[in-house]
Structure 1
Amino acid sequence: MPELVGPNQGAWLRRLDLERENLIAAHSSCVRTKDGGELGLRLVHSAKKYWSNRGLLGLRHRLTVEVLAHAGARQPTLARCQALLSAGQVCCFMGRFREAMGYLQECLAIGRKLDDNGRIGGALQYLGMAALGEGDFAAARGYLEEGLVVAEVLGDKREVAGASNALAQLDRAEGLLETAEPLYEKVLALAHELGDRESIAIALLNLAMVAVGRHSADRARQMLLEVIEIAEETGSKRVGQSVLEVCTGLASSNLECEYAARFYGAAEAQTAQTQLRRDPADEAFLAPLIAKAQQALGTAQFATAKGAGSALSYERAIEEASTWLKGDS
């Protein structure tokens, strides 16, 4: 569904909200039908961005794994390769890095057999993320640097943006902000060229974390306010959850530790619902700032503020974050 990554993605996502039960029913029909394997593979590939945008990672994982196990879906076709990449991607989003490796290695093998640089590059990007999640920085860099070369040879702006972002994440996880930042700026420029609102938001989130790391609070605030606008426009729970996490870090950096604890509680409540886990770069950014806020407040006060945040609805939490970022709180 190419419309899910273009300038009209918000409208298309809302349209699919109305068809959600039909999507699930179509999947069930594919899984039950002897000849439904290939169609099921194509369906999980087409709908993957919808499930992730709406924070339904557990459902996306289940549907993808079910169809990959179908007897009619086991041939090394392009459709299987695409579904394997989707499975590896969602496992990475959920922090299931070792499981992701299995799907991605098979995807890479099929991609090389088919000489499909799009699938080869995608597999390399997420193999890099999985290796980073497993703590193997050297392997991660090898995968990601090769992935960027493949994307540049392919000449696809979306693939170049994805590969550049993945390499920037590794640089940021290693504390190399001076090399991560220009890569994120490149991703942002490409996302604007593509008109991909969610990718614009992700690039801005990453740049905001760099800004927090450099104590550029005003720059981070402006970026986060723009991200909230995009999250509200597209209905992206994934982006909204990340806003709350970056607000946590910004508040702690500014010594507004009660806000940090409150936003952290709201973000963790969303994590429990969406199953979207912070990637290693984001965890490296946030963990010391959470520890800083907890030390400043004391364990009891931090827990109280965190609990108050976790009780907020998603909509209320985003509203509070927006008010705080504008300085109206």
Structure 2
Amino acid sequence: MLLTSDHRENAMPDHYRFGTSELRPAERQLLIDDAPAALGAKAFDLLLALIQRRERVVDKAELFDAVWPGLVVEENNLHVQISSLRKLLGPSAITTVHGRGFRFVAALESDAATTAGSGGETKHPNNLPQLRTRFIGREKALGDCAGLLHDARLLTLSGIGGCGKTRLAQELAQRQLPAFPDGVWFVDLGPLQDAERVPATVATTLGIKDAIVAPLERLTEHLKSRQTLVVLDSCEHVIDAAVESIDALLEKCNAVKIVATSREALGMQGEQIFMVRSLSLPATTDVDEMLRSEAVRLFVDHARLALPDFTVDEGNAAAIAEICRRLDGIALAIELAAARVKVLSVDEIRARLDDRFRLLTGGNRAMPRHQTLHATMQWSHDLLTAPERRLFRRLAVFAGGCTLAAATDVSGDAADEYDTLERLTALHDKSLLIVDRDTQAHPRYRTLETVRQYAAERLNEAGEGDDIRTRHLLHYVALAERAAPGMEGPRQGEWFAALWQEQENLLAAHAWCAHAAQGGERALRLVASLWRYWSGTSQCAGGYRLAEAALDLTAGDPDSADRGRARFAMSYFALRLGRYDVVLSSAERSLAIGRTLGDAGLIARALTGVGMGLATTGQPRRAIVAYEEAIGVARSEKDGASLSFALNGIAEVHRELGNLADAQGFYEQSIALARAQENARETATGLGNLASLLIASGQLDRARTTLAESMALGSGIGSKAMVECQLDVVAALAAASASHSTAARFHGATLARMRESGTRHDPVDEAFIAGWMARSREAIGTAAFGAAEAEGKALGYDVAMAERNRWLSGSE
């Protein structure tokens, strides 16, 4: 017989699950999204009483007896508790039946397939596996899939191997039981080696006897009048046969619906595709925030299967977050990693992720393709054609994705971009490639890190690793050399944005230089071309290390123009980092190479570097001589970019010496030249320096408009480095305007940004800012200044920039 309501009330399950919530009576705990919810004792008792009596309306008197036994309680107390439960669970979990009482109406998981006592039949026929682990998260995905299945007859859950397609399909099927009176049937096609056995396997699973001959006809005859849901799991390796069977079922069985899981879509008319994404990742390492992440909750849940007292705390939060991120939120990978906590600490698991295919083993023995992370990757790889496999493994050299043009150039295996596009499309359709469309006008193609590691193994096994990595290096050397002049012209914003997208590839190319033939020479070319990029994105410390590595690789080689330009790049990075002895020595070596080679362009830039080095080491008169020669060479070569750069440099020295009229003249020449070249970066730099001079000479209104233009130009090309440095000039303007608290606040924001990047002001700017901040500190007192400065340090970049804009516009 079926369990009665009284039987249900007397039985005390260890938990009740409904939606994203779980009530644990023994622990007197309510979990929402697997995190403990704040729930008072009486509210807990009321919820438990309603759940235990969920098959009927419970009147108020019975609830008072259950929750407040032996007490006289005002009726308002009951309504207060009901209201608090609805705030936590949503307004529809508990319904009010006016004049009668209340009823718990949320669907419990245990009710979906209620079974009779021993020997009885199920209320809803099914063969769904009895799942031994909890379903973590993805409630929205379940809701979306349920809605799609309501409107479509074929729903395909597609995604990378191990992402959780099967588990989602099983949970969806469990919750769909009441909608299919003739049953819900789960058919695992994964073990099939012979695609022709698909219809027979489905028929056998549904209990159709003697379906050896004409199994598809027997199957459609059996289901033609039944309202049934069939779940076909792992269709990708028998896809043609699966499509044939599905097509027949949908054509001849009007009440049948099908959920398929496959690493690629079936490509059928009327197919509704739902992409199963990776689990949500933690945004921070705050413990409470982390427990809202699906990936972290899955890790913790499976870790507790191996180590029941496992918890997330401040000591292991960062390691767990990194594990989940580096495993790309792939459910299978996270489950396998969590299982290792019985023998390894989470820090040890994290440290071994570079060898993840050996680490992540020991999965589901009943499903060989899910026993190891390697096995699930191998399963997908085996389904690729030979050309698809070649492109797949060669894409492993890209870090952070690539464009279509890059994939075509580096893979070296396609007739043209259309050929590459066809293979990229196939890899995407088979859930091995992600297409990012929100980065720039051109889509980018990338793999998850787990997939990339597997592809790299295949690349090395094929003996192609060195060759493809060298092709990758050459591609990005060429890109850098195309970008170099662009970063000083009208499209510099576009070039900086493009290089930002390719930064990981540029770093990978640099790293391969140590192993490639002629790698040193190519490393110099990268440094020479990209110095503007690294400095303009506040990455001078990284740029310095790359320059140093390139010069070390070519130690003992004959001097070249690229070596001279790399020396200049090192000089400029050193200036921004405050390493003034290196500024001068590197610039002098760059100049010596330029003079030896007779390279006028290099000589002009190197002389500017020498001028910077002399100025920062207390030799301003000699610096002026160097700058004057640089200006002369640049003029004779009609090198506008170098000329503008040198004019700005000589102006800085004159400003330091107090020659403000001379300085202003040189600034204005530099700015006019930069404007003519549509060089927004150099224009903004000159305007910012000119604003400092105007502040020093008391021209505050003009300084404000000049700074506003400089900041707008810098923001327009996405140059945080320039904007952050010039925020201190805004602080000086605020101090000169007697807005001393604002000055301290902006100065604090600048200090925080520069500390992050490891950069500092030039000595002339350092002295200029320090003088104005001393005035503000004296005006409002050390304590008030320090408090305002601390507030500024705590500001995020966007907030600081918004405050700056409001102040400059006069709205504050």
**TM-score of the pair, normalised by structure 2:** 0.40
1:106-159: CA deviation from partner (whole Å, max 9, x where unpaired): 111110001112111211111111111111222222222222222222221112
When structure 1 is superposed on structure 2, of 112-121 and 273-282 the one drifting more is 273-282
Greater RCO (CA < 8 Å, at least 6 residues apart): 1
Query: Where do 5+ consecutive residues of structure 1 fail to align?
Result: none
State the 1:321 CA deviation.
0.6
1:184-237: CA deviation from partner (whole Å, max 9, x where unpaired): 111111011111111110111011111111212111111111122222211101
Q: What is the aligned partner in structure 1 of residue 741 from structure 2? A: 258
One-letter amino acid of the counterpart of residue 297, structure 1: I
After superposition, where does 1:95-134 map in structure 2 within 5 Å?
95-134=578-617
One-letter amino acid of the counterpart of residue 691, structure 2: A
Q: What is the aligned partner in structure 1 of residue 666 from structure 2? A: 183
Q: Classify 1:286/1:242 alpha carbon distance in 2 versus 1 (closer, same or farther; 3 Å).
A: same
Q: Distance in 2 between matches of 1:191 and 1:73?
A: 38
Q: Distance in 1 between matches of 2:683 and 2:764?
A: 18
User: For the Cα contact (< 8 Å) 1:125–1:143, is it kept in 2?
Assistant: yes
Q: Classify 1:292/1:125 alpha carbon distance in 2 versus 1 (closer, same or farther; 3 Å).
A: same
Q: Distance in 2 between matches of 1:200 and 1:189?
A: 8
Q: What is the aligned partner in structure 1 of residue 783 from structure 2? A: 300
Q: Classify 1:41/1:71 alpha carbon distance in 2 versus 1 (closer, same or farther; 3 Å).
A: closer
User: For the Cα contact (< 8 Å) 1:92–1:126, is it kept in 2?
Assistant: no
One-letter amino acid of the counterpart of residue 95, structure 1: G
Q: Distance in 2 between matches of 1:212 and 1:19?
A: 40
User: For the Cα contact (< 8 Å) 1:238–1:276, is it kept in 2?
Assistant: no
* Structure with the higher strand share, 1 or 2: 2
User: For the Cα contact (< 8 Å) 1:41–1:73, is it kept in 2?
Assistant: no
Q: Distance in 2 between matches of 1:158 and 1:259?
A: 36
One-letter amino acid of the counterpart of residue 154, structure 1: E
Q: Distance in 2 between matches of 1:80 and 1:303?
A: 46
User: For the Cα contact (< 8 Å) 1:228–1:318, is it kept in 2?
Assistant: no
Q: What is the aligned partner in structure 2 of residue 272 from structure 1? A: 755
State the 1:92 CA deviation.
1.2
Q: Distance in 1 between matches of 2:517 and 2:613?
A: 33
User: For the Cα contact (< 8 Å) 2:583–2:612, is it kept in 1?
Assistant: no
Residue in structure 2 matching 1:152, options 632, 635, 640: 635
Please state whether the residue corresponding to 1:5 is helix, strand or coil: coil
Residue in structure 2 matching 1:165, options 648, 653, 667: 648
One-letter amino acid of the counterpart of residue 10, structure 1: G
Are 1:283 and 2:766 counterparts? Answer: yes
Q: How many pairs were matched up?
A: 329
State the 1:34 CA deviation.
4.8
State the 1:285 CA deviation.
1.9
Residue in structure 1 matching 2:516, options 13, 33, 36: 33
One-letter amino acid of the counterpart of residue 635, structure 2: E
The alignment's C-alpha RMSD in Å is 1.4
When structure 1 is superposed on structure 2, of 55-64 and 214-223 the one drifting more is 214-223
Q: What is the aligned partner in structure 2 of residue 234 from structure 1? A: 717
Structure number with larger C-alpha Rg = 2
One-letter amino acid of the counterpart of residue 99, structure 1: V
Q: What is the aligned partner in structure 1 of residue 287 from structure 2? A: none
Please state whether the residue corresponding to 1:32 is helix, strand or coil: coil
Residue in structure 1 matching 2:693, options 203, 206, 210: 210
Q: Distance in 1 between matches of 2:791 and 2:802?
A: 15
Q: Distance in 1 between matches of 2:647 and 2:489?
A: 19
Please state whether the residue corresponding to 2:487 is helix, strand or coil: helix
Please state whether the residue corresponding to 1:276 is helix, strand or coil: coil
Query: Where do 5+ consecutive residues of structure 2 fail to align?
Result: 1-482
Q: Classify 1:71/1:83 alpha carbon distance in 2 versus 1 (closer, same or farther; 3 Å).
A: closer
When structure 1 is superposed on structure 2, of 307-316 and 64-73 the one drifting more is 64-73
Q: Distance in 1 between matches of 2:510 and 2:526?
A: 7
After superposition, where does 1:81-92 map in structure 2 within 5 Å?
81-92=564-575
User: For the Cα contact (< 8 Å) 1:265–1:308, is it kept in 2?
Assistant: yes
One-letter amino acid of the counterpart of residue 138, structure 1: R
Q: Distance in 2 between matches of 1:114 and 1:158?
A: 21
Q: What is the aligned partner in structure 1 of residue 32 from structure 2? A: none
Q: Distance in 1 between matches of 2:753 and 2:556?
A: 34
User: For the Cα contact (< 8 Å) 1:38–1:72, is it kept in 2?
Assistant: no
**TM-score of the pair, normalised by structure 1:** 0.96
